[in-house]
Amino acid sequence: MGILLVLLFLSLATVNINEGCIDSERQALLMFKHDVTDGANRLSSWSLHNGHGDCCQWYGVVCDNVTAHVLELHLANPRPLLDDYGSDAENEAMERSKLRGKINHSLLKLTHLSYLNLSQNGFGGIPIPDFIGSIESLRHLDLSKAGFGGLVPNQLGNLSSLEYLNLRADIEDNLYVTDLQWLSGLSLIEHLDLSDVNLAQASNWLQVLNTLPFLKNLYLSGCQLPQIPPPIHLNLSSLAILDLSLNDIENSLGGSIFHGLVNMTSLRHLDLSNNLFNSSIPESLYSLDSLQFLNIGSNKFRGKLSSAIGNITSAIDLDFSDNELEGPIPITMGNLCNLKSIVFSELNLNQDVSTILAVLSRCVSNQLDKLHLSGCHLSGQLTNQLRNFRSLKELDLSRNSVSGPIPISIGELSSLRVLELDQNQLKGQLPSSIGKLTNLEILDISTNLLEGVVSETHIGNLPKLKVFQASKNSFVLRVSPDWIPPFELELLGLRSWNVGSMFPLWLLSQKHLWYLDISGSRISDSLPGWLWNFSSPFQYLNLSHNQIHGQIPGTPWAMSVDSVIDLSFNILSGPLPQISPNVVFLDMSNNNLSGSLSPLLCYKLEETMGTVILNLGGNVLSGGIPDCWLNWQNLQVIKLSNNRLNGSIPSSMGALQSIVSLHLRKNHLSGEIPLSLNNCTDLVLLDAGENELYGNIPQWIGDSLRKLVILSLRSNKFSGYIPDELCAIGSLQVLDLADNNLIGSIPRCVSKFRAMAKFNGSMGTAISYLIDAGTFLATIVMKGQMLEYSTNLNFGEKHRFV
Ligand SMILES: *[C@@H]1O[C@H](CO)[C@@H](O)[C@H](O)[C@H]1NC(C)=O
Ligand SMILES: *[C@@H]1O[C@H](CO)[C@@H](O)[C@H](O)[C@H]1NC(C)=O
Ligand SMILES: *[C@@H]1O[C@H](CO)[C@@H](O)[C@H](O)[C@H]1NC(C)=O
Ligand SMILES: *[C@@H]1O[C@H](CO)[C@@H](O)[C@H](O)[C@H]1NC(C)=O
Ligand SMILES: *[C@@H]1O[C@H](CO)[C@@H](O)[C@H](O)[C@H]1NC(C)=O
Ligand SMILES: *[C@@H]1O[C@H](CO)[C@@H](O)[C@H](O)[C@H]1NC(C)=O
Ligand SMILES: *[C@@H]1O[C@H](CO)[C@@H](O)[C@H](O)[C@H]1NC(C)=O
Ligand SMILES: *[C@@H]1O[C@H](CO)[C@@H](O)[C@H](O)[C@H]1NC(C)=O
Ligand SMILES: *[C@@H]1O[C@H](CO)[C@@H](O)[C@H](O)[C@H]1NC(C)=O
Ligand SMILES: *[C@@H]1O[C@H](CO)[C@@H](O)[C@H](O)[C@H]1NC(C)=O
Ligand SMILES: *[C@@H]1O[C@H](CO)[C@@H](O)[C@H](O)[C@H]1NC(C)=O
Ligand SMILES: *[C@@H]1O[C@H](CO)[C@@H](O)[C@H](O)[C@H]1NC(C)=O
């Protein structure tokens, strides 16, 4: 009794003396703190000052109530993992609250540590410390996305008490293993996540996993799993979650997994998406009684959908999208009464949409959240069965051949957040019941045959709308001039609408708009200055094919990175504006812009322009081509055709090392073609026709521009012989040198070029071209007649010998 009391007293005294925690463990934690960088000062309570000495009270530390040993360290980044939509401020905060630096092996002193969580910190690519394998008391170890890189230490195999191990990596950290044998030491493991750890060298991975009797949750997404098919009987009968997505697994390996599925009777969650399976769907999948989540999307599964799909009665979430599977959706799918999500996009269902709605109306329609059937070759019409699907949050029927009207009953799907009906053959008016879908965030009805008035009744009560894409219909917009919409759009597409002659003023209220397409929408207003001072920078701005007049303000438009501006086919006048270096695509062609190229080309000489495509053709630009190309190294396409440019082609254009397509046709350019252009060895198209260029046709064209497909120097003042060197350009398909002062005979090889052969070698053929992302649309003017010659001159093939 007395001894017991003394012992009790002694142990209490120890606790008291050490202010609630064990001294050696406190020291260990302080050493740990000393070695990490703690940008957000998360470990400020880890200190001996101000009566903080009880380490059991420190941030993230959990001690045993009786023995005061440190049991748990919760040091994960407290900021939630953000996706790409996180604001800069949120991402910064996340970065700041990362622990960085080194991990002191003083942690070994925490002899009772059973839980260590360092997830989402930033250890900058250092290896996982070996000594962690010696903290034998560990049961939960979470080092996910903590910035560890390099070889995973085998020593982790000594953690024989481990039940939970998460090493999920970021691909850029290059975390890898050479062998997984050590895993067999984790005989109690239940939860194992090695996603994005490179297992390519671990040829025995499946055999090793097969020896872990308690394994329940297995995540091996993006592990570059080796393909050697292990001849193995899988007995992973406790598995509840199996994620093998993103591994390029082929059927050879998959076979043994599918075979083993028969025994995985507890499987609830199976993700095989983004692999290379190309067989039919194995029958073993349909016998999984407990399966709730099944994703086989983005593979090459083939064959008809089997009626056995109706056996997976516990299914909640099915994703079969993007495979080579064929329809129809079997009637038995109507038995799956627990379904909430069906993602079957990009399958060849080849079915009437109303049949599918009927099948699903059997028992599941009133609880389904998500129905994605985009690009499934669906036909027929949407019927009032739609009203059965009253829980739907997402309906995607885009890219099918659904016809007929949008039923009025669509207004009853009051939970809808996403409605995508674009690229179908829907006819008639937009029902005003759309206006009842007050939860709608994304509405895409573009590229249909819809018509009629769209007014505030339709869109005036959709406060959450972020995306309204309705381009390529015959809609007329009718809203009051002082309308202030309830929504804050990010994307707006009204291409080929009739929005009225005035620039829609309500756009001013849209503070987050970054995509605006109001091309071909019958605007005949002047370009409003407020577009320049718009609250958000645009990424895509298409105002083309209107009657917009007036000048473009000289100061550059604030644009976001990799942005696109299309102002073509308007009647804009005045000088060229400056543009932001962020613009990759700039089309101001076919306007009435005048003056010299300098304001645009020579502005901001100290900055490299991101512009890849520049089209200024079809204006009344004059003066010389300035010597300002050094900052435009990214240009691949330049069109200056149909202007009034004079002077010579400046040598500095030889600096355009990326140029693929150069159009100078129909100006008043004179002089010789500068030798520096022999630097532009990627040129595929060179059109300098209808100018006043002279001299010989340079022989270096044949020597250096070996990728040319189209070369036109027609209607100039070139003289001398056609150099034989042109024959060396194996890719040449169109050669037009007509209407010059050339003498001598046409080199033999020329008759073999495709265009020449096609038009009987006639040198009187005039050709003008447009290059659009690798596709040539060539208009051939022959014998005074215009022939639309719209063809893909295929770069890959050699058409030279017809
Ligand atoms: C310590 O005690 C608290 C309540 O006093 C209890 O909630 C907690 O679970 C105990 N922790 C341990 C590790 O025993
Ligand atoms: C580790 O912490 C993160 C972030 O709080 C949490 O999501 C994760 O579940 C934790 N891991 C374990 C094993 O508890
Ligand atoms: C651990 O921390 C102690 C005290 O700060 C230091 O002396 C020691 O070098 C550190 N150990 C490692 C491996 O960094
Ligand atoms: C396991 O720990 C022992 C010492 O306890 C050590 O000798 C051995 O190298 C470790 N094994 C592995 C695989 O880490
Ligand atoms: C799985 O079966 C193999 C033999 O086929 C056996 O060696 C292994 O121990 C079994 N694993 C479990 C978890 O039963
Ligand atoms: C299923 O498990 C049983 C018993 O462990 C085993 O005999 C059989 O080979 C397994 N089936 C497959 C396909 O692995
Ligand atoms: C499936 O892919 C393998 C290569 O992984 C190939 O050999 C086989 O021909 C493909 N099968 C079909 C039906 O395409
Ligand atoms: C589906 O269920 C039916 C009826 O229970 C059964 O006869 C059939 O074998 C099952 N098919 C598969 C592939 O499991
Ligand atoms: C702008 O819209 C027109 C049609 O109105 C289209 O032809 C053109 O390709 C669009 N421009 C860009 C850059 O997408
Ligand atoms: C943008 O706003 C500033 C200040 O409000 C004004 O000086 C400038 O002229 C505006 N720019 C355009 C193009 O309207
Ligand atoms: C083109 O601009 C000039 C002034 O630069 C103007 O006189 C002329 O009317 C404009 N043409 C058209 C069609 O707008
Ligand atoms: C041609 O290219 C070389 C290197 O690729 C470069 O040094 C030279 O300046 C270029 N010539 C011209 C005229 O830009």
Residues 613 and 512 grouped into a single domain: no
Instruction: Tell how far the Cα of 65 is from the centroid of ligand 1, in angstroms.
Output: 6
Per DSSP, 96 falls in state H
Structure tokens at 319: 């994703």
Q: End of a domain among 500, 517, 534?
A: 517
For range 740-758, the mean pLDDT: 63
Strands laid side by side in the 425-429 sheet: 403-404, 425-429, 449-455, 474-478
So what's the pLDDT on residue 752? Answer: 56
Q: Which ligand is nearest to the CA of 578?
A: 10
Burial class of residue 101 in the structure, from the number of CB atoms within 10 Å of its CB (0-12 exposed, 13-18 middle, 19+ buried): middle
- Ligand 4 pocket test: which of 108, 111, 130, 155 has the largest number of ligand atoms within 8 Å of its C-beta? 155
Instruction: Tell how far the Cα of 288 is from the centroid of ligand 6, in angstroms.
Output: 15
Per DSSP, 40 falls in state T
439 found inside a domain: yes
CA distance 60 to 70: 10
Q: pLDDT by residue (tens digit) across 440-490?
A: 999 999 999 999 999 999 999 999 999 999 999 999 999 998 999 999 999
Residues 661 and 756 grouped into a single domain: yes
So what's the pLDDT on residue 52? Answer: 73
643 found inside a domain: yes
Residues 410 and 506 grouped into a single domain: yes
Question: Quick one: which atom of ligand 3 is closest to the CA of 105?
Answer: 13
253 found inside a domain: no
Ligand 10 touching residue 553 (CB < 6 A)? yes
Q: Taking the CB of residue 92, how many other CB atoms lie within 10 A of it?
A: 11
360 found inside a domain: no
So what's the pLDDT on residue 487? Answer: 96
Band (pLDDT 50/70/90 cuts) for residue 391 is very high
Residue 86 reports pLDDT greater than 70: no
Instruction: Tell how far the Cα of 139 is from the centroid of ligand 4, in angstroms.
Output: 17
Confirm if 323 and 302 have CB atoms less than 8 A apart: yes
Residue 79 vs residue 507, higher pLDDT? 507
Lowest-confidence pick of 344-353, 615-624, 742-751: 742-751
So what's the pLDDT on residue 763? Answer: 32
Q: Which ligand is nearest to the CA of 160?
A: 4
Residues 660 and 768 grouped into a single domain: yes
Nearest residue (by CA) to ligand 4, atom 8, is: 155
Per DSSP, 667 falls in state S
Residue 398 reports pLDDT greater than 50: yes
532 found inside a domain: no
Q: End of a domain among 491, 517, 543?
A: 517
Residue 179 reports pLDDT greater than 60: yes
Residues 502 and 633 grouped into a single domain: no
Q: End of a domain among 477, 501, 517?
A: 517
Residues 617 and 759 grouped into a single domain: yes
H runs (alpha helix) in 640-683: none
Nearest residue (by CA) to ligand 12, atom 7, is: 655
Ligand 1 touching residue 66 (CB < 6 A)? no
Q: Taking the CB of residue 81, how many other CB atoms lie within 10 A of it?
A: 11
Residue 510 vs residue 253, higher pLDDT? 510
Residue 18 vs residue 528, higher pLDDT? 528
The reported pTM is: 0.84
**Structural domain harbouring 609:** 596-789
Residue 161 reports pLDDT greater than 50: yes
So what's the pLDDT on residue 447? Answer: 98
Residue 621 reports pLDDT greater than 70: yes
So what's the pLDDT on residue 259? Answer: 80
Q: pLDDT by residue (tens digit) across 563-593?
A: 999 999 999 999 999 999 999 999 999 999 9
So what's the pLDDT on residue 513? Answer: 93
Non-local (6+) Cβ contacts of 568 within 8 A are 544, 545, 587, 588, 589, 590, 591, 615
Residue 801 reports pLDDT greater than 50: no
Confirm if 367 and 340 have CB atoms less than 8 A apart: yes
CA distance 784 to 7: 113
Residues 654 and 765 grouped into a single domain: yes
Residue 758 reports pLDDT greater than 50: no
Distances (CA, A) of 471 to 397, 432, 445, 493, 510: 17, 18, 8, 5, 18
CA distance 11 to 217: 41
The count of domains in the chain is 2
| β partners of residue 49 | none
Please give the backbone phi and psi of residue 515, each rounded to the nearest 5 degrees, phi first.
-130, 120
Structure tokens at 329: 């959706």
669 found inside a domain: yes
Non-local (6+) Cβ contacts of 8 within 8 A are none
Band (pLDDT 50/70/90 cuts) for residue 229 is low
Ligand 11 touching residue 592 (CB < 6 A)? yes
Residues 626 and 774 grouped into a single domain: yes
List ligand 5's pocket residues with C-beta within 6 A. 210-211, 213, 233, 235
685 found inside a domain: yes
The pLDDT mean for the chain works out to: 88
3-state helix, strand, coil in the chain (%, to 5): 20, 25, 55
Ligand 11 touching residue 622 (CB < 6 A)? no
Q: pLDDT by residue (tens digit) across 264-304?
A: 889 999 999 999 999 999 998 999 989 999 999 999 999 99
Non-local (6+) Cβ contacts of 435 within 8 A are 411, 457, 458, 459, 460, 461, 462
Q: ω before 328 within 30° of 0 (cis)?
A: yes
Nearest residue (by CA) to ligand 3, atom 5, is: 31
Q: pLDDT by residue (tens digit) across 300-322?
A: 999 999 999 999 999 999 999 99
Q: pLDDT by residue (tens digit) across 100-115?
A: 999 999 999 999 999 9
Helix (H) or strand (E) holding 743: strand 741-743
Beta strands in 126-268 (DSSP E): 140-142, 150-151, 164-166, 175-176, 191-193, 217-219, 241-243
Residue 234 vs residue 58, higher pLDDT? 58
Nearest residue (by CA) to ligand 11, atom 14, is: 571
Residue 89 vs residue 7, higher pLDDT? 89
List ligand 8's pocket residues with C-beta within 6 A. 283, 286-287, 308, 311
Q: Which ligand is nearest to the CA of 209?
A: 5
Percent over 70 (pLDDT), the chain: 88
The CATH number for 679's domain is 3.80.10.10
Residue 147 vs residue 558, higher pLDDT? 147
Residues 493 and 600 grouped into a single domain: no
Percent over 90 (pLDDT), the chain: 74
So what's the pLDDT on residue 558? Answer: 81
So what's the pLDDT on residue 766? Answer: 33
